[in-house]
Amino acid sequence: MTPETVLADLIKINTTNPPGNEIEAALYLKNLFDVAGIPGEIIESEPGRGNFIARLGEGERKLLFLSHTDVVPAGEGWDFDPFSGEIKNGTVYGRGAIDCKSLAAAGACAMLILAKEYPLGGALIFAATADEEKGGKYGVRYLVDRHREKIQADFAVNEGAEEPVVLGGQPVHFIQTGEKGTAWSKLEARGVSCHGSLPGLGDNAVVRMAGAVKTLAEYKPEIRIIPEVALMLQEILRIKKLNVKPEEIDAVLGNFEDKTFAEYLRALTRMTVSPNVIYGGEKVNVVPDYCQAEVDIRILPGQDDNYVLGELQKLLPDGTMVEILNYHVPSFSPVNSPYYTLIEATLKKVAGEVTCLPQISTGATDSRFLREAGISCYGIAPMAKDFDPQIKATIHGKNERIDVASLQVKVEFLVALARAYLS
């Protein structure tokens, strides 16, 4: 089996979450591993929500290859069938081609290669899990809570790193060492209802909320440079030959050619506040007495739920009620660790002379559950040298695909990492 055929087979299994139905992908992987004589098992957290775990070797040292098999809905407007899994002109096409079936396929193929070698000097664990795209309740979170011993490792590699970028003509690869936290919040405004023809008699909750939302949109969060981001910024500014202090980052971001990367850096240097949902009012001739909004808030280390509530209360008009609906602290694994050093050395060995930088993600992955359980976890995205950056935009978008060369680099990386740590 080649990694591209395994990936193509996984893409053809529709694991759109919801509902997930990852059991089909788990059964496919179980069969692949059975044929190769690698012991594996399926753990169903709920009917249809299959997690596949396999293990090669035994010993003190333990390394975990983590990936997820569910995908986000394909949506409309694709130029090809999102579940065709077609392999054409050195590219594999379909939903999950990058996020995250490529890593699952690469990890599976690395296990098949390593199974044919001398026994490993430790345990290599492979976990392809369910439900990452909807919060991990039926996947890694379930495994951490109920089957911790099956995924316990010294460290894990997972998705989550930004794909490589070219800065100042140099390829830069990232190793994700942390993720921002979330403090998704609900705002409520209350007023007094009356007939829409005599609005002066009432107190319009939609108008109140409009003021609150405008205030949030204009809010300038304090710039906060955490050590990991400082390191990354210094290196990026050095490569770009820019002479500014990290705290003055806003002055240069507007001139970055890569707008996505610039906005990513902006989000890493402050709390972000984005009011994304609003509803209120029921009838055109009634002044509404209630309006609700939901705000996506992402926090940095040193910022917690009290900080968020304090900031919102300072900003928002009197009478706006605030409640945090979904709260996750930021999660981190150390940069000063032998695992980070090993991942960096392995990336350089496989991807050639590249710069490696620690990276913090603005979003969340399953890595947070492992970190909260005390297992170091690093996000990686090894890609081939001539990887087309256009492909990045297809993650969670339309026309998702990956080049076979990058898929092979992922396999090489995982094999080299396991050999280096477990031999």
Q: List residues binding Zn ion (CB under 5 A).
A: 99-100, 159
Closer residue to Zn ion in complex, CB, 97/293: 97
Task: Write out the H or E segment, with its range, that includes residue 150.
Answer: helix 148-151
Least separation in angstroms between CB 118 and Zn ion: 33
Min. distance of Cβ 87 from Zn ion in angstroms?
A: 21
Residue 42 Cβ vs Zn ion, minimum distance, rounded to whole Å: 20
Distance between CA atoms of residues 291 and 277, nearest Å: 11
State in angstroms the smallest separation of the CB of 381 from Zn ion: 11
Whichever of 100 and 123 has its CB closer to Zn ion, that residue is 100
Tell me which amino acid residue 280 is. G
DSSP assignment letter at 389:
G
Would you say 99 or 289 has its CB closer to Zn ion?
A: 99
CA dihedral for 131, 135, 137, 141, sign (positive or negative):
positive
Nearest residue to 65 (alpha-carbon basis) of 422, 349, 387, 394: 422
Instruction: Return the number of the residue (100 or 422) whose C-beta is nearest Zn ion.
Output: 100
Q: Which alpha helices (DSSP H) does 92-136 contain, by range?
A: 101-115
Nearest distance, CB of residue 30 and Zn ion, angstroms: 21
Residues across the chain: 423
* Minimum CB distance to Zn ion smaller for 99 or for 188: 99
The nearest distance, CB 361 to Zn ion, in angstroms, is 11
CB of 378 to Zn ion, least distance (A): 15
Cα atoms in the Cβ-side hemisphere of radius 13 Å centred on 320: 27
**Nearer residue to Zn ion within complex by CB, 69 or 272:** 69
User: Please, what is the minimum distance in Å from the beta carbon of residue 318 to Zn ion?
Assistant: 42
DSSP label at 24? H
**Judged by CB, which is closer to Zn ion: 174, or 256?**
174
- DSSP-derived pairing of the beta strands 355-361 and 272-280: unpaired
CA distance 93 to 98: 10
Which amino acid makes up residue 174?
Answer: F
Q: Based on CB atoms, which residue is closest to Zn ion, 99 or 203?
A: 99
Can you tell me whether residue 236 is helix, strand or coil? helix
Q: What is the distance between the alpha carbons of residues 259 and 178, in angstroms, rounded to a whole number?
A: 22
Transcribe 395-419 into DSSP letters: TTSSS-EEEHHHHHHHHHHHHHHHH
